[in-house]
Chains A and B, each alone.
Chain A
Amino acid sequence: MELTIDSVTKRFKEKVAVKEVSLEITPGVWGLLGANGAGKTTLMRMAAGIMKPDGGQIRCEGIPINVLKEKYREIFGYLPQEFGFYPEFTAIDYLEYMAGLKGLTRRAAKVKIEELLERFSLTQAAKMKISKMSGGTKRRVGIAQALLNDPKILIMDEPTGGLDPGERVRFRNLLSEASRDRIVLISTHIVSDVEYIASRIAVMKQGSLIALGSTPELVQMARGKVYTCLVPQDKLAEYERKLNIVNLRNEQEGKVSLRYLSQSPLTEDSQADEPRLEDLYLYLFPNETKEAE
């Protein structure tokens, strides 16, 4: 199974939302990282076939998806960023309806739905109207829906949005379990969602792909750019202005331990530190520091 994104471009009037992005996606979990407006959703919508690229092509096993049509949709699962549904549906109505549209037989649907309800702890909420559910529960119904047809290609746009930490961990485990022989592409701006489970991570910025690799490979890019130092509490404000701080922690005796990004050490007692994926993200998106987690 291979999904090829071949120099795909999408323009909205003047704005270029996706700029000549090329990716060869193979089975495994792929993370798509990028700040707000980077073009993740636009790229995924094109891969889902609900938006046509202005340039380039998306192919599955070498055949353009707009040629494959139904054959592509049959092996495809999608969770959009904004999860829409008919307001009158309960979770079970909705899953049944989706199973029908995905071409499952009645019996296969019944088994699959039960399994998914169980797996996403939705058994309690099965008869509840989706419109009355909390954001996280809704999201889980959305994820369950995407998995109904055991898709070979699964694309989820910010699937962890609204999930509590427990669910998030469970979701991560489930994904890595499910990704053995299928393509899973998830977008997020939460680094920890993909840090440990993604086999490959693609980073988008302003419509372009700016980095691609496994977590350790990407982390290498930040090597030698992460430093820690101890500063007195009363000087903190001054340092905050001066340094690109990733993290700070209160220590004893009125001192604060800072972790910052820089090309070279900026204080005398600074020590180089082991980089993490989050450091790279903040290094690549310095302006988003305040918004990112």
Chain B
Amino acid sequence: MSVLKLEYKRILKTRSTVIIFAAALLISALLAYLPTTFAYSAYINEAGEMVELRGLKSIRYEQTLQQGISARVDGEDFRYAVETYQACLNEYGLENSYELPGEVYTQRITPVAPLLSGLKEVFADPTTGIQPTVMQIDPSLAENFYELSKSALFSQAQRSLPEAALKQAVRLYDKVAVPFVFSPASNPNAMDYQVLCAFIVMLLCSVVVSPIYSSNYQTGADDILRCTKHGRVRLALCSAFVALSLSAAVFIACTGVYILLSNSFFGWECVKTSIQLMYSALNLAALDMGGLQLTVFLGCLLSVLATVSFSLFISSKVKNNVTSLCASIFTCLAPVLIYLAVPGSFGLLLRCLVPSAGSCLQSSILYALTDFEFLTFGNLSLWSPFAMMIFGAISVPLFSGLAVWGYAGHGSK
């Protein structure tokens, strides 16, 4: 009888495990639905009544409003956006768009809104980085958006990065495809929830995995297992493999459900939208939203596996389940704690090193991908998402290897 099969059977027969995994799936579906509820738009219908739309209806309505922006956003679109904005605010004699009545905003600003924040970044002051308001932008210059964006990136990098990183930033930004692509009603909110979903799966997997070895020590089952033919290295290997493969399966299932549902709600077209229109226009990742979903998916998968490996390692070292559980949960939360407690480049290094980095909310790979942080070692520099991926890929074999070794050699003092 294969030990691996028996080990799968043992874990899957544990009722709490099954419940936890089912809960993870359900939570993923709920999380996919949640960001749709934030959508809001309002308009005046033919009868002169105000109609307020929320949720999926609002998203569908936004899709019709933003048809005007061409799929490939060119300089012309940027100029049109500035002109539209300025005309509308001048008409109402206002300085800020948030002072507009809701239905006016929906009707006139929403159709061009996705292009506005990028414009402000590109027209920022090169030395101070201070951004103008849209009212201060010269519409005729807005046509040169793509040329301006390269120099804006250079200034931003010069302001905030050391020499080595600057070059890498410029190299990365050169790879970003222009003109940007836009699909109506694209929205970055759903990405945050994909990370939240990964984070919850990571926590739940850690809970399931943390007692795998330690419970053997705690119940004393270890004494008997250890005296059997396959009870040492082979059992340790099989347990680790089962933990990793089940975690991967659950993660893939949950994130899969999330992405499928989310894209169905927001429209599958949205995956083609350039992330530069959803996040910073100076974003370094040459990705569209679909690519971002996939990259975040991979980054989170790596971090979930790294965290599971680390939990296994802890489990092989401590004598009881509670300690193991606490340590695993702490590991999941560590990046956020480091983020709050350790500033600067050392904090960044720590955050990238912790196995749970990729899926941990504010420190996650999504934030790294949409941010401008580089690890620098002398002349070498590494963009933080790369660092997370590399450390994650090293952590998985490292910690699961240590776990197997730890379990097989446990107590042989």
Q: Point out residues on A near B: beta carbons under 8 Å.
A: 45, 48-52, 70, 73-74, 76-80, 82-89, 93, 96-106, 109, 142, 145, 149
Contact A76 B10 (CB under 8 A): no
Contact A86 B10 (CB under 8 A): yes
How far does the Cβ of A259 sit from chain B's closest Cβ, in whole Å? Answer: 40
Complex A-B: 7 CB contacts under 8 Å: A74-B229, A84-B224, A88-B13, A97-B6, A101-B228, A101-B235, A103-B229
Contact A101 B229 (CB under 8 A): yes
Give B203-256 interface residues, CB cut-off 8 Å to A: 215-216, 219-231, 235
- Give every chain A residue within 8 A of B14 (Cβ-Cβ): 86, 88
Q: Looking at A45, A80, A101, A145, which has the most chain B CB atoms within 10 Å of its CB?
A: A101
Q: Point out residues on B near A: beta carbons under 8 Å.
A: 1-3, 5-6, 9-10, 13-15, 215-216, 219-231, 235, 411-413
User: Which of A52, A86, A93 is the one whose CB lies under 8 Å from B215?
Assistant: A86
User: Which of B219, B223, B230 is the one whose CB lies under 8 Å from A86?
Assistant: B219
Contact B231 A101 (CB under 8 A): yes
Contact A100 B6 (CB under 8 A): yes
Please name the residue on chain B nearest to A69 by beta carbon.
B232
Given contacts A51-B411, A86-B10, contact A102 B230 (CB under 8 A): yes
Contact A80 B223 (CB under 8 A): yes
How far does the Cβ of A177 sit from chain B's closest Cβ, in whole Å? Answer: 23
- Give every chain A residue within 8 A of B231 (Cβ-Cβ): 73, 101
Contact B227 A99 (CB under 8 A): no
How far does the Cβ of B290 sit from chain A's closest Cβ, in whole Å? Answer: 42
How far does the Cβ of A51 sit from chain B's closest Cβ, in whole Å? Answer: 7
Q: How many pairs of residues, A versus B, come closer than 8 Å at their CB atoms? A: 96
The CA-CA distance from A132 to B332 in the complex, in Å, is 35
The CA-CA distance from A87 to B13 in the complex, in Å, is 11
Contact B229 A78 (CB under 8 A): no
- Give every chain A residue within 8 A of B229 (Cβ-Cβ): 70, 73-74, 101-103, 149
- Give every chain B residue within 8 A of A87 (Cβ-Cβ): 219
Contact A98 B227 (CB under 8 A): no
How far does the Cβ of A162 sit from chain B's closest Cβ, in whole Å? Answer: 15
- Give every chain B residue within 8 A of A145 (Cβ-Cβ): 224
How far does the Cβ of A258 sit from chain B's closest Cβ, in whole Å? Answer: 43
Given contacts A52-B413, A101-B235, contact A84 B221 (CB under 8 A): yes
Q: Looking at B9, B13, B221, B235, which has the most chain A CB atoms within 10 Å of its CB?
A: B221
The CA-CA distance from A84 to B3 in the complex, in Å, is 19
Q: Looking at A76, A85, A99, A145, which has the most chain B CB atoms within 10 Å of its CB?
A: A85
Please name the residue on chain B nearest to A49 by beta carbon.
B227
- Give every chain B residue within 8 A of A84 (Cβ-Cβ): 216, 219-224
Contact B1 A104 (CB under 8 A): yes
- Give every chain B residue within 8 A of A50 (Cβ-Cβ): 222-223, 226-227, 411-412
The CA-CA distance from A52 to B222 in the complex, in Å, is 15
- Give every chain B residue within 8 A of A88 (Cβ-Cβ): 10, 13-15
Contact A86 B412 (CB under 8 A): no
Contact B223 A100 (CB under 8 A): no
Q: Looking at B10, B228, B235, B413, which has the most chain A CB atoms within 10 Å of its CB?
A: B228
- Give every chain B residue within 8 A of A79 (Cβ-Cβ): 224
- Give every chain B residue within 8 A of A86 (Cβ-Cβ): 10, 14, 215, 219, 221
Closest 6 CB pairs of A and B: A84-B220, A84-B219, A84-B221, A100-B1, A101-B228, A78-B227
The CA-CA distance from A97 to B4 in the complex, in Å, is 10
How far does the Cβ of B32 sit from chain A's closest Cβ, in whole Å? Answer: 32
- Give every chain A residue within 8 A of B223 (Cβ-Cβ): 45, 48, 50, 78, 80, 82, 84
